Amino acid sequence: MLNVSIYRYHPEQDEKPHMQDFQVDTSGKDLMVLDVLFSIKEQDSSVVFRRSCREGVCGSDGMNINGKNGLACITPLSSCVKKNKLVLRPLPGLPVVRDLVVDMGQFYKQYEKVKPYLLNDTPAPAIERLQTPQERAKLDGLYECILCACCSTACPSFWWNPDKFIGPAGLLQSYRFLADSRDTATQERLAELDDPFSVFRCHGIMNCVNVCPKGLNPTRAIGHIRNMLLDRAT
Amino acid sequence: MAENISTMSFDAVVIGGGGAGMRAALQLTEAGIKTACITKVFPTRSHTVSAQGGITCAIASDDPDDDWRWHMYDTIKGSDYIGDQDAIEYMCSVGPQAVFELDHMGLPFSRTEKGRIYQRPFGGQSKDFGKGGQAARTCAAADRTGHALLHALYQGNLKGGTTFLNEWFAVDLVVNDNKAVVGVIAICIETGETVYVDSKVTVLATGGAGRIYQSTTNAHINTGDGIGMCLRAGLPVQDMEMWQFHPTGIAGAGTLVTEGCRGEGGYLINKDGERFMERYAPNAKDLAGRDVVARAMVMEILEGRGVGKNADCVHLKLDHLGEEVLESRLPGICELSRTFAHVDPVKEPIPVVPTCHYMMGGIPTNVGGQVLFPESESKDRVVEGLYACGEVACVSVHGANRLGGNSLLDLVVFGRAVGLQVEKSIRDGYSVKPATQNNIDVAMVQLQRLNNSKGGERISVVRTELQRIMQLYFGVFREGPSMRKGLDLLRQLRGQLQNVYLQDKSQAFNTDRIESLELNNLFEVAFATAVAAEARQESRGAHARNDYTDRDDKQWLKHSVYYPEEERIGKRDVNFNPATMPAFPPKIRTY
Amino acid sequence: MVTSITSFGRSGLYDWLVQRITALVLGCYTVFLVVFFLSNPGLNFQDWTSLHAQLPVRIFSLMALFSLGAHCWIGLWSVSTDYIKPFGYRFLFQVVVGAAMFIYIVWGIQLLWGF
């Protein structure tokens, strides 16, 4: 029997959040954390969490698993459980809606701020815009982001200034468009980033790199943005 | 009877924030039509994100002489000749335009040395109407094409300024006194508030329902909500017996391993290490139609040549492709395989098994996405105010079996087509009689019954039983007596379902309530599937019967239509009238 | 873009750059002093004043002093915007830090050039 402790908060019933303990029979299998949550929901259908693809591509089930942010569906118990104890909390730093569900509004707002779409002021050709494999390779490690918010909610700079610091996820996407040979708005994009908060609150703590379930490296992308800003200003 | 609920008004409402829904919403928003996109998960969490291999389309990158007519031929053959040829013609000819638009939107396609979009071979593809050998026609962004496409579409919608109602669940269609659809009852999941979303037109883009089966590649959210809504509103659905079992789902976990693996040169082996597809499809081998490969795999397993502890799966061999190809072309597969099969494809084969993947059937529509009510075999009536596109719709471009890479094309082409059609309709002054309180009350019945439930069966118990029945009696191979048994069990289950107990009746983010509503939709889909499967007395495409092993073109070169009110199956003519060329006549289908 | 009038440079980039350059200056100055102390074991007041009587040393010291002021201001301004959320307290803190830096610099100049 695995001991699981889950953060519970119901806005209609609870004044304060509390932790609730459950026992789950894993039959000795190395289940994913999400499977454990399904077992718990069978015991108590009022336990609430988000889920969709259950294979680590949709980014719904980001949560804090034994102290580290990750996706419940691709985190096996063997990689996180110590002393037969699993503690599940919502992603830190965002308002809790209920139980493990957080309000992602602030996170999405920062994503939208970087204009995460291709801007090109030349007329579109009749076919695709050509791009060499080398130019395309610059987007690898950037476009794969699933917006699960594991990184931004592990970032102290984002905790302190979630309204002003874009955060690792948003900046990764910002660089994804700065690096795209088909995008022509590089200068406008950079001008939007040149303030003391948007990019420069990154202090290179690298929690984002540590937790990213897709193995991406936002810190490196932020470094590239900084170099582009430097290049533009000097 | 119902309390007065608040109303939101739009000119168009799109239900579903996946590929098809967002493509439609984008088209409508750009046309200046006041549109809302209702989506039960944040758009980039939709199941389109899981598509891997690519989007099949004759953009003439790999082969400069490629022709959309060849793609059309392949698709019709793949459909086992019950795909509507006018719709397939439209999809294949408009496809390139729709794909280039995606590139212009920013989709990071993989590239060739010439800078064009990279295309890989997929199952069922040929050149020169089947005479020119294997084609490579599937446009890919590594093996994350669905993810790249869905994010590009969301980004396009952000740029266009679409109104999203994120994490809102559509419950039931509101139908006015003239039988026109005038919006939908929806719940804001976060607050629990129920709202009547009043709209001149409603577009269903709710995706598939693979969760009716125990073993599926589909996300938890694929519960056939659009089908459920239609059936409860008395609208028929088409070809519901046609479910695609994808040959390569990871054994046990069900997660998808793209056909692109075989496109890149991977192949299936049995316990003797034999490349058995050479026996079943001497020409196309591992790149035969998915139905053909899935059946071959099941035959191998049934005849005792499976692998694994219980000999219940086969192996997908990739290691001979080399680490470099695998990591550059199939990085996502390597990741999934290590996580879910505990196997490194660079070194070992992946254990795979046919897994429920795609619903070819759905809501019958015309090429503009308008929902049709088939009144007889040859006569349809347009359902005013209702449109459908994507997996929930049955245009039908997939017929009895979908080709790999055609679902993403279906999404963008028909999402776009719906947008164009709705725009035209609204510009032409389409107007509707507003819903009365009584119309709204009718649409609230299901929700109210649930909210007032005082005891009965638990949701998870009914759902598990439903999935078990479908897996057991309506799988890859089917047979009359066992299907009739399955149908009886489903009828019993319907009693339990009507008595299902919603334990948690609170408002804020009540996933228990949402799952109950989803379960109702799953059941509707499953029941329609069962009735249609039992009725179609032949084997065609994905529908393989042990008691009727041959294709019967005399009786069944037809769509099946399930009418929910009488629970009966009717037939509907397949379209053999493409606009620009003679039709492709049915032939014996071999690969 | 987040605009802010209280940062030091005219942009986040300049703040960032100033932090790096001032850190470098302060680092070099520290090394210089450490080396000086180690190579003068029996250091007396005479040696100390004669060191600071030289013009290059005075310029170097002044550079370090300005760097310290700028570095502290940017650093503590950042810290205050991270941790002090009520506007009044934050403003007060920034005024105190600003004033302190101003005083240190004026005082330092007076010390360096005043004897």
Looking at the fold, whether A190 and A127 belong to one and the same domain comes out as yes
Joined tokens for residue A96: 């809790």
**Nearest CA of chain B to the CA of A48: how many Å?**
6
Looking at the fold, whether A94 and A111 belong to one and the same domain comes out as no
Looking at the fold, whether A97 and A109 belong to one and the same domain comes out as no
Instruction: Show the domain range for A186.
Output: 105-233
pLDDT (tens digit, 9 = 90+) per residue, B158-190? 999 999 999 999 999 999 999 999 999 999 999
C3: pLDDT strictly greater than 80: no
The verdict on a CB contact (< 8 Å) between A160 and C7 is no
- The residue among A37, A69, A102 that closes a domain is A102
C4: pLDDT strictly greater than 90: no
**CA-CA distances (angstroms) from residue B64 to A75, B97, B137, B413?**
45, 16, 11, 22
Q: Quick one: pLDDT band at residue A234, thresholds 50, 70, 90?
A: confident
Mean pLDDT of B143-168: 97
- pLDDT value at residue B1: 42
Q: Quick one: pLDDT band at residue B4, thresholds 50, 70, 90?
A: confident
pLDDT (tens digit, 9 = 90+) per residue, B111-122? 999 999 999 999
Mutate to test the interface with B, among A9, A52, A138 (most CBs of B within 10 A): A52
Looking at the fold, whether A90 and A23 belong to one and the same domain comes out as yes
Q: Residue B113 is nearest to which of A50, A97, A133, comparing CB atoms?
A: A133
pLDDT (tens digit, 9 = 90+) per residue, B243-273? 999 999 999 899 999 999 999 999 999 999 9
Mean pLDDT of A47-76: 97
**CA-CA distances (angstroms) from residue A233 to A177, A220, C1?**
20, 20, 17
**Is B427 known to be catalytic?**
no
Looking at the fold, whether A135 and A98 belong to one and the same domain comes out as no
B514/B508 Cα distance (integer angstroms): 11
Q: Residue A230 is nearest to which of C7, C13, C15, comparing CB atoms?
A: C13
Q: Quick one: pLDDT band at residue C35, thresholds 50, 70, 90?
A: very high
Whole-angstrom Cα Rg for chain B:
23
B208/B154 Cα distance (integer angstroms): 20
Mean pLDDT of B194-207: 98
The tokens 């104890």 sit on which residue? A85
Q: Could you tell me the CATH number of the domain that includes residue A144?
A: 1.10.1060.10
- Which three-class secondary structure state does DSSP give residue C32? helix
A186: pLDDT strictly greater than 60: yes
**CA-CA distances (angstroms) from residue B437 to A143, B196, B419?**
48, 11, 29
Report chain C's terminal Cα–Cα distance, integer Å: 48
Could you tell me where the beta strands, DSSP code E, fall in B377-449?
A: 380-388, 393-394
- pLDDT value at residue C95: 95
Percent of chain A with pLDDT over 70: 100
The verdict on a CB contact (< 8 Å) between A45 and B339 is no
Mean pLDDT of B554-558: 97
**Residues of A with Cβ-Cβ distance to C16 under 8 angstroms:** 200, 226
The verdict on a CB contact (< 8 Å) between A161 and C82 is yes
**Nearest CA of chain A to the CA of B113: how many Å?**
6
- pLDDT value at residue B455: 87
Marked catalytic residue, from B290, B463, B540, B545: B290
Spacing of C-alpha C9 from chain mean position: 15
Mean pLDDT of B561-573: 97
Do A and C share at least 3 CB pairs under 8 Å?
yes
**Nearest CA of chain A to the CA of B349: how many Å?**
20
The verdict on a CB contact (< 8 Å) between B147 and A136 is no
Q: How many CB pairs under 8 A join A and C?
A: 49
Establish if B506 touches chain A: CB-CB under 8 angstroms.
yes
Looking at the structure of chain A, the number of domains it has is 2
If you ran DSSP here, which 8-state letter would residue A162 be given? T
The verdict on a CB contact (< 8 Å) between C12 and A230 is no
Looking at the fold, whether A81 and A166 belong to one and the same domain comes out as no
B523/B502 Cα distance (integer angstroms): 16
- pLDDT value at residue C11: 84
pLDDT (tens digit, 9 = 90+) per residue, B440-486? 999 999 999 999 999 889 999 999 999 999 999 999 999 999 999 99
Residue of C nearest to A225 (CA): C13
Looking at the fold, whether A59 and A159 belong to one and the same domain comes out as no
Mean pLDDT of B62-90: 98
**Nearest CA of chain A to the CA of C85: how many Å?**
9
The verdict on a CB contact (< 8 Å) between A157 and C82 is yes
Mean pLDDT of B15-44: 98
A12: pLDDT strictly greater than 70: yes
Q: Is B477 exposed, middle or buried (0-12, 13-18, 19+ CB in 10 A)?
A: middle
pLDDT (tens digit, 9 = 90+) per residue, B489-542? 999 999 999 989 999 999 999 999 999 999 999 999 999 999 999 999 999 999
C86/C77 Cα distance (integer angstroms): 14
The residue type found at B45 is R
Mutate to test the interface with A, among C4, C10, C13 (most CBs of A within 10 A): C13
- The residue among A83, A102, A121 that closes a domain is A102
The verdict on a CB contact (< 8 Å) between A191 and C2 is no
- The residue among A102, A128, A154 that closes a domain is A102
Joined tokens for residue C24: 């470098």
Q: Residue A195 is nearest to which of C4, C17, C78, comparing CB atoms?
A: C4
The tokens 């310029």 sit on which residue? C59
C5: pLDDT strictly greater than 60: no
Identify the architecture of domain C9-113 in CATH: Up-down Bundle (1.20)
Question: Model ipTM?
Answer: 0.98
Q: Residue C12 is nearest to which of A157, A160, A198, comparing CB atoms?
A: A198
The verdict on a CB contact (< 8 Å) between A74 and B339 is yes
- pLDDT value at residue C42: 87
Joined tokens for residue B453: 């439930």
Looking at the fold, whether A126 and A97 belong to one and the same domain comes out as no
pLDDT (tens digit, 9 = 90+) per residue, C37-63? 999 888 899 989 999 999 999 999 999
Percent of chain B with pLDDT over 90: 98
Closest CA to A58 of A149, A129, A172: A149
Residue of A nearest to B223 (CA): A52
Establish if B147 touches chain A: CB-CB under 8 angstroms.
yes
Closest CA to A44 of A62, A21, A26: A21
C22: pLDDT strictly greater than 90: yes
A146/B48 Cα distance (integer angstroms): 13
Q: Could you tell me the CATH number of the domain that includes residue A61?
A: 3.10.20.30
Looking at the fold, whether A84 and A109 belong to one and the same domain comes out as no
Do B and A share at least 3 CB pairs under 8 Å?
yes
Other Cβ atoms less than 10 A from the Cβ of B534: the count is 22
**Nearest CA of chain C to the CA of A218: how many Å?**
18
Looking at the fold, whether A111 and A97 belong to one and the same domain comes out as no
Between vectors from CA B376 to CA B374 and to CA B379, what angle results, nearest 5°? 70
B268/B291 Cα distance (integer angstroms): 15
**Nearest CA of chain A to the CA of C110: how many Å?**
33
B118/B473 Cα distance (integer angstroms): 41
Question: How long a stretch of residues is chain A?
Answer: 234
